[in-house]
Chains A and B, each alone.
Chain A
């Protein structure tokens, strides 16, 4: 692989890039509770299994989102009802501004 053929400085640079990227992805896969505990977000299979057992209004959706101020996407899990409420709110705000 080309990665292992480069010079030592380049290798260190590449390695640090990989490590920092891994850390970012690792952190983006976790969420911090208000009490400081780090909890892992559910994977897609867990989400599908959960969604199958609850009423439609209780279902969640997890997707990669890129928050404002960063280019690093984060996995976020939200209730469908919250996504729709936020979307409705933003539409109303936009309509009010444009009026």
Chain B
């Protein structure tokens, strides 16, 4: 990990606040009367909108990775050719302070890398053509989707992979990665809107390119500690259940001597080192195409959707390649060899195919809006916790590699009986297990006066549990969101809390925003994380931070 800075927390905070104030003043002074960016060019009516943002973070724990200020510049361009043809692009330029350095040499984000260059980068988030056709509509190009009724943690919303480089401070849409796709909507006139069904739409999406998720690197602020390795793993040779000597010595006496020598070995440490490898993205060919379909309608005050998705999961998984090397022994006797060993581990992110059958609804009940989505996910992979100092557990993990049993047995045999300078290469170790799952959520929203209250409950159920996984069989989540506006909507207080009930984990984010001018908003808040270090959220518990940001939007 990148070492923390040596400056005091207070001086860093003062410097950032001053920087924010200076930028804020410059922006306010320069854009107060910015001209409208709307014009007509030949047959096209062009509408341009842009945003600029600066975000700075004050980490509470100086031993956690730093986060430099993040600068955003977004540009939205819409060109309408009459009422039936439209070209839309959303482009983002960002210098991302959450990462230590660029992962590759490409300043423009591509469609096949998990680790992207982020300091700075240019990303075409969306670029598509809209065509209004008779009783149908076609959208072609790079696009983001939002399926389902729930605002967050939606189990039917899989069409876009997710960017996990800023997992807790990005809103849902921003964390989605645009994908090349064809989206065809058949509208009521074509499929027939009859009886009580209103605004019926049948939608089909085709994605020829399997775009992978994005992950931070190990030294970045938001790299998941549970997918990191401990510095040292103590190994007690006697703890291995594997019969190292069995079958090697036909003479029982020799076998007994072998077991005696193995049993006499002293505990030794393993020093793992983790390297992240780039994904082998699936080639663009029919076997890897993704597709989905959705039916939506409104009936008797209920918005309803049913959907099916056949494609790659948005939840990251990986496999490991491990090279175990033992150094020359320092011996003081025939049965007292001291072994020092290293494990070079390479983590290869992988895409895994899932199929999802889902449905959802939204309706009004009294003064509440009630929403729900449910899905059966076939073939989801659940990750093991590799951040363990339990050698037995590590051995069990490595044993999942092809031919692992024979390789490990030979390695241990040679290590214990021949000499300590041995190595074994285990490729393709899966760090996840495939299971079917059921996911669902219910959300209730109450809007009254200047208040917005949201309460959501979600449950993920792994249908066949397995030990050692990061995720429990039943993962319940509760989401609470409270928003209150003051001073004619110029001052906003937001409080967002997420609780994972299985381990008592919690993330809270109170935030205060003020609209300084039309389009110019300043926000400040705190991100607080609690929970056991082996938890989905608790692993980030040292990353508590305060943040401030200013955003200006103009058109």
Do chains A and B stick together as partners?
Answer: no
Which B residues form the contact surface with A (CB < 8 A)?
Answer: none
A residues in contact (CB < 8 Å) with B:
none
